[in-house]
Amino acid sequence: MKIGRLIAATLILAALAATLYWANRRQQAEDAARLLRDAPVKVLSLNKDDISRVEIKKKGGDDVVLSKSGPQNWKITSPKSLIADQDQISSVLAALSPVDANGVIAEKANDLKPYGLTEPILKVSATVKDGKPQNLLIGDDTPTGDSAYAMLEGDPRLFTISISTKTSLDKGVKDLQDKHLLPVDFEKISRVEITSPKLNLAFGSDNGQWVIQNPKDVRGDTSKLEGVVEQLRTATMDPGMKDQERKKAASSFSSGTPLATVKVTDQSGSQELQVRKNKDAYYAKTTAMEGAYKVSNGLGDAINKNLDDFREKRLFDFAADNPEKIEMHSGAKSYFLTRSGEDWWSDGKKMDPVSVDSFIRAIRLLSAAKFVGSGFSTSAATLTVTSMDGKRVEKVLISKNGSRYVAKRENEPLLYEVEAKGFEDLVKSADEMKVAEPAKQ
């Protein structure tokens, strides 16, 4: 009797285990089917890095062909060879990789006319490494306006796709062309050259600082040089120009007075910009594209300068750094300062920080009112500043010539005429330096 109950219990337990096993298997199958059902349908599945060519055909518009010319570089090859806007190209590639369907309207569509696909509004062909193009056909928008009808050539299914995908692919030459008059990588430019009747200047970047390369041994005003670069960086053409405006710009450039030629070089090569002035406006031609274009007065004014305009007018270069030593001789007086940490010392005595800061500020403000060709005679004052952990030592000599003060940096020929007030403020701040008050107990 006990054995019978045990056998019965064992059979019941086995039946329950089998039921549970098959229930779990069924649930897993249902979950897998649901995931497959809920997964987005791919109209087109591509890896953007594998795409080497894209052709966009617009109904009633010009065809545009984009070709990959480098790992991350694309160009327009038709209807004519043009430099492409890499950001716009990235948007097109992102829209193609992949193209997800919002829905499947029909597994096999027979009549395509109601969906605008008999003559598609857009046909986008993407060619990958194997050379086989994938042709995406895009038709009318859906009644709700948030999707568009689409098909993949060779696939009988009719889909809807996001309207944003259609917008990203609905591009023409004007959208995809680089609008920059100087389409170079301004983060990696090695040289900028400005040539004009009154200027022959070349400058480049040295550890993040703009420095004049030609003429040699000229200290450049980094803010002025940066201003030129920024104007060149933002100089663009208007792709929406009408024919009449194009003709006017071409005529104004042709009859304008040559102002300057600017050449910008990066790691991929060089581009040039010719700038002319016509009345109060500036016009330019570039090697990057055809035609002439009106440019901003800011660009024209930035390059319409002589060499002195680009020179650094400050006598000292340590402005952004905290000096370590300062030595000044003025008449019968001498001043010696040495910094230790945040404290300044002179002749073994700790100096008042406020008075020393005023003195350093006066040194930083010493600058040329203008550059002169003569006027320096006997030195009336000398000032030596050491900074950058002793790596930079700057010495300035100042001469009094009548009511003028003329200064020069040691071993440099350029003469700086300094305003009398600037020199007088320097002498006054030196005289007003004092020893720090003893700390209160």
Token pair in block for residue 377: 């005679």
**Inside any domain, residue 439:** no
Q: How many angstroms separate the CA atoms of 428 and 389, rounded?
A: 28
Q: How many domains does the chain have?
A: 4
Pairing status of strand 415-418 against strand 133-141: unpaired
**Is 90 found in the same domain as 9?**
no
CA torsion 406→410→414→416, rounded to 10°?
-30
**Is 127 found in the same domain as 195?**
no
**Is 92 found in the same domain as 34?**
no
- Identity of the amino acid at 251: S
What are phi and psi for residue 348, nearest 5 degrees?
A: 80, 5
Task: Give strand ranges (E) for 171-324.
Answer: 191-196, 199-206, 209-214, 257-266, 269-278, 281-286, 292-295
pTM of the model: 0.77
**Is 96 found in the same domain as 155?**
yes
**Is 278 found in the same domain as 213?**
yes
Give the single-character DSSP code of 402: T
Q: How many angstroms separate the CA atoms of 223 and 229, rounded?
A: 10
**Domain containing 31: what range?**
1-39
> So what's the pLDDT on residue 321?
87
Q: Which one, of 284, 173, 293, 179, lies nearest residue 234 by Cα?
A: 179
> So what's the pLDDT on residue 8?
62
- Identity of the amino acid at 346: S
**Inside any domain, residue 212:** yes
Q: Which of 149, 176, 203 is the last residue of a domain?
A: 176
- CATH number for the domain spanning 392: value is 2.60.40
> So what's the pLDDT on residue 34?
40
**Inside any domain, residue 372:** yes
**Is 159 found in the same domain as 86?**
yes
> So what's the pLDDT on residue 16?
61
Pairing status of strand 343-346 against strand 349-350: antiparallel
**Inside any domain, residue 326:** yes
Q: Which one, of 349, 332, 334, 341, lies nearest residue 430 by Cα?
A: 334
**Inside any domain, residue 57:** yes
C-alpha distance from residue 40 to each of 137, 158, 162, 216 (Å): 19, 15, 12, 63
Q: Which of 176, 207, 232 is the last residue of a domain?
A: 176
Q: How many angstroms separate the CA atoms of 63 and 77, rounded?
A: 11
**Is 56 found in the same domain as 167?**
yes
**Is 383 found in the same domain as 424?**
yes
C-alpha distance from residue 294 to each of 175, 244, 249, 299, 342 (Å): 20, 13, 6, 10, 53
Q: Which of 252, 287, 310 is the last residue of a domain?
A: 310
CB 150 within 8 A of CB 161: yes
The alpha-helical segments, DSSP class H, found in 39-140 are 86-96
Q: How many angstroms separate the CA atoms of 412 and 107, rounded?
A: 82
**Inside any domain, residue 145:** yes
Q: How many angstroms separate the CA atoms of 263 and 261, rounded?
A: 7
Point out which residues pair with 278 in neighbouring strands: 281
**Inside any domain, residue 287:** yes
How many CB atoms neighbour CB 71 within 10 A?
6
**Is 328 found in the same domain as 254?**
no
**Inside any domain, residue 222:** yes
Phi-psi region of 208 (alpha: psi -120 to 50; beta: other; left: phi over 0): left
Q: How many angstroms separate the CA atoms of 362 and 428, rounded?
A: 9
> So what's the pLDDT on residue 224?
95
- Identity of the amino acid at 93: L
**Is 374 found in the same domain as 265?**
no
Phi-psi region of 81 (alpha: psi -120 to 50; beta: other; left: phi over 0): beta
**Is 106 found in the same domain as 8?**
no
C-alpha distance from residue 316 to each of 209, 313, 320, 363, 366 (Å): 16, 9, 10, 8, 8
> So what's the pLDDT on residue 209?
86
Q: What is the pLDDT along the chain (441 residues), one digit of tens a residue?
A: 456 666 666 666 665 655 555 555 454 444 333 433 445 799 999 999 999 999 999 998 889 999 998 888 899 999 999 999 999 999 999 999 999 999 999 999 889 999 999 999 999 999 998 788 999 999 999 999 999 999 999 999 999 999 999 999 999 999 999 999 999 999 999 999 999 999 999 999 988 889 999 999 899 999 999 999 999 999 999 988 999 999 999 999 999 999 999 999 999 899 999 999 999 999 999 999 999 999 999 999 999 999 999 999 999 999 778 999 999 999 999 999 999 999 999 999 999 999 999 999 999 999 999 999 999 999 999 999 999 999 999 999 999 988 899 999 999 999 999 999 999 999 999 999 999 998 776
**Is 286 found in the same domain as 200?**
yes
